Amino acid sequence: MATYNSTRRKLAIATWSAPQAGVIYGQLGIDMSAALLHIEKLRAESGLKISITHLVGKAVALGLRAAPGLNGRIHLGKFIAFDSVDFSYLVALEEGGDLGKVKIESADETSVIEIAQQLADAAAKLRAGKNDDFNKSKPLLRLLPTWLLRPIAKITGWLAGSLGARIGFLGVEPFPFGACCVTSVGMFGIEVGYAPHTPWARTPMLITICQIKDQVVALDGEAVVRPILTITATIDHRFIDGFAGGKFAKTVRRVLEDPQLLDA
């Protein structure tokens, strides 16, 4: 029963509403031939279980730097840029029954190996129940009815995500998710999927890492088989238009297809 009545599900139910705002959906298919070799190199260098998730996270950070209109917040009707490029990974807990988040700060200046180490350490604390901030929020989420949780989540999201307030008794830090949430579903065999916007998280963008599949592509006029990764994006239209979105997408594609650029 815990899987079906988790705090994550309760919060999702309490804050759900029909779509009302402009959203951009985008999809990239990226040749990961070089990236997969790069992963093996980084694993040998670090001894860590480097994965596609870590490379995509760094690529997203570089994309946010290239398209700064995505790296900020809306406050009182005005865009305010963040001082650093931060994003968050969503981490599955309790065998998928709950979700936690790991925020990577100054990610554009952090190496792939450092990102992998930070994510591994923070995810281990979450799964062991040793993340104090995450633990502070759970009792209140379990106690409150969903009808009361909706306005509280909205107010909390505005205070932390718009004003940058720290809400200590709930374990909520300023701008808790950064400018983007990154989640991976490829390991579940999902070929294409889009993450829904979460109003209280107040992130301009959500990135979903889907499955890598061998596909036939044209290369120098010939049909060849390459491992193609699908990445999807759900973007708040208030932050960027197609031009800026294109800059973000081009940067992500360029650094993943030439992974030496990730830590250049």
Query: CA 46 from chain center: how many Å?
Result: 23
Report phi then psi at 161, rounded to 5: -90, -25
Quick check: 101 and 88 in contact, CB under 8 A? yes
pTM here is 0.89
Q: Smallest Cα–Cα separation from 104: which of 125, 118, 92?
A: 118
pLDDT tens readout for residues 72-98:
998 888 999 999 999 999 998 877 778
Residue found by looking up tokens 């990102």 in the block: 115
Which of 54, 192, 45 has the alpha carbon at shortest distance from 112? 54
- pLDDT tens by residue, 8-67: 666 676 666 666 678 889 999 999 999 999 999 999 999 999 999 999 999 999 999 999
Q: What share of the chain is helix, strand, coil (3-state, %, to 5)?
A: 45, 25, 30
For residue 56, CA distances in Å to 2, 209, 257 come to: 31, 8, 11
Band of residue 1 on the pLDDT scale cut at 50, 70, 90: very low
Q: What is the pLDDT of residue 2?
A: 42
Of 236, 218, 237, nearest to 228 by C-alpha is 218
Residues 122-142: tens digit of each pLDDT: 999 999 989 998 888 888 788
- Domain extents for the chain? 7-258
Question: In whole angstroms, what is the distance from residue 130 CA to residue 127 CA?
Answer: 8
Q: Which residues pair with 223 in a beta bridge?
A: 218
Strand segments, DSSP code E, in 7-63 are 23-31
Structural domain 7-258, CATH architecture: 2-Layer Sandwich (3.30)
